[in-house]
Amino acid sequence: MQTQTGATEWKSRAAITAIGSYVPEKRLTNDDLAAMVDTNDEWITRRTGIKERRISGPDEFSSHLAIAAVRNLAERYGKSPEDIDAVLVATTTPDMPFPSVASRIQEALGMRSCLGFDLNAACAGFAAGLQMANGLILTGAYRSVLVVGVETLSKITDYTDRSTCILFGDGAGAVLVERAEEGRILASDAAVWGAGGSFVYATGLASELNGEPLTGGGKIVQNGREVYKWAVTQVPLGIRRLLDAAGLGMEQLDWFVPHSANLRMVDAMCERLEISPERTLTSAERFGNTSAASIPLALDLAVRDGRLKDGHLVALYGFGAGLTQAGVLLNWTLRG
């Protein structure tokens, strides 16, 4: 299916110094979904591990969630928006094609002069954004880069389709990556397999992909079986490439933080990696599949409850539409 890629060992001087998150107030539980489609809590939990999701309001969009997450970061860690040189937003559900969500963040927080753009790597977007932030700092041109993963997937979910509506939710997570005396981002990995693009998509201007007609009317369409087979094969290979690039072993890894697509999928990855599911950080149980937001949400949940501590070795790995994958290996040390 996909040729293996080599992971890159980074010699940078960059570290994550702050984290924040935000989710909408409205909850959509499995019981709520059972009143909408032919399903029930036991069926959803057994197949996905998801118990509830957060749903944005009719006038609440990705920019609103992203701005709230960044404000949460700034308040918790005493960071000034004026000190931020660049804003990278990973999302597949921007408020509009343009202007970017990044520009809305700049306006709301009053950053005077900064680089700002959105990137679309689907569920791999946050990890890809971290790689880009690290690269920008490595050039010496930037000192402080904000990376935001945000989605309002409920707005493109078909709530008559039982196979997809049970999965998706809304949320935002943000981290600040700053120049540091000691680099903390150890290795990165990325690949895209465009031949699998028709396995998960939402339609836009085009009516076909790889010669296949597209359906869905702008809502999410997914071939879950094919995505599952691809992900449970490729992600463990990617994690091993990250560790090999850094000269480290699986036994040294404290936390595996995959995209929280489906917890049964995560269990299968853990089995292939021979790592205990208790060494994973996920967010799907409480927030569902939030695509680019799922990894930062999982990280912040673990920061808040004390599981994720300074000095932990963490492997982040996103995977999804494209089919796209991206991973980062880092030593976790928040610095005020």
pLDDT in tens, 117-167: 999 999 999 999 999 999 999 999 999 999 999 999 999 999 999 889 999
Is the pLDDT assigned to residue 86 strictly greater than 60? yes
pLDDT at 1: 35
pLDDT at 4: 46
pLDDT at 21: 98
pLDDT at 228: 87
pLDDT at 336: 45
- Kindly list the catalytic residues: 123, 259, 289
pLDDT at 15: 92
| Crossing angle for the helix pair 41-48 and 263-273, to the nearest 10 degrees | 30
Is the pLDDT assigned to residue 79 strictly greater than 70? yes
pLDDT-above-90 percentage for the chain: 78
Task: Say how far apart CA 78 and CA 80 lie, in whole Å.
Answer: 7
Q: Which domains does the chain have, with CATH numbers?
A: 1-336 (3.40.47.10)
Is the pLDDT assigned to residue 5 strictly greater than 70? no
pLDDT at 234: 93
Tell me the average pLDDT of the chain.
92
pLDDT in tens, 237-280: 999 999 999 999 999 999 999 999 999 999 999 999 999 999 99
* Average pLDDT, integer, range 318-336: 89
Separation in Å, CA 127 to CA 24, 86, 235, 311: 23, 16, 13, 19
pLDDT in tens, 196-243: 878 887 777 677 777 777 777 888 888 888 888 999 999 999 999 999
pLDDT at 73: 97
